[in-house]
Amino acid sequence: MSKSIDYREMLRLEFNLRRIRNPKYSLRAFARDCKISASRFSEVFNEHNHLSISSGQRIVQYLGLSAQMTQNFLDSIIKESRKSDGRKGAQKVNSSVAPIDNKLKIPTQDEPSGSLN
């Protein structure tokens, strides 16, 4: 069983190959060539964000990856997306729980509710 490479690692390898051929080749140029904004590409590279499947498909077409490499690349995006969605779901659940206000007094049947009679 072979370990699949993370799509970011695949991008880094490709970027480094291009830098070997052209030492002035920049991340901004790589982003432009992959048809992704430079800021978004930087966020992906620095693991602050992840690629969408559609962006991944554009990139693999541009890079001309083999069928197996394309599958590994897209599978890696999907895997990360599922992990990310799980964390976001947990955050939504936690943030939707309202804090309990211990000072709020709920009248019982024996106590008047404070309404005007």
CA-CA distance, 5 to 55, in Å (whole number)?
18
83 pLDDT band, cuts 50/70/90, is: confident
pLDDT tens string 14-52? 999 999 999 999 999 999 999 999 999 999 988 889 899
Q: What contacts 56, CB < 8 A, 6 or more positions away?
A: 7, 73, 74, 77
Structure tokens, 76: 């890696």
CA-CA distance, 81 to 49, in Å (whole number)?
10
H or E stretch including 69? helix 67-96
HSE-CB at 70 with a 13 A cutoff on CA atoms is 13
Residue 42: which of 63, 54, 32, 28 has the closest Cα?
A: 28
pTM (2 decimals)?
0.65
CA-CA distance, 95 to 92, in Å (whole number)?
5
> Does the pLDDT of residue 75 top 50, yes or no?
yes
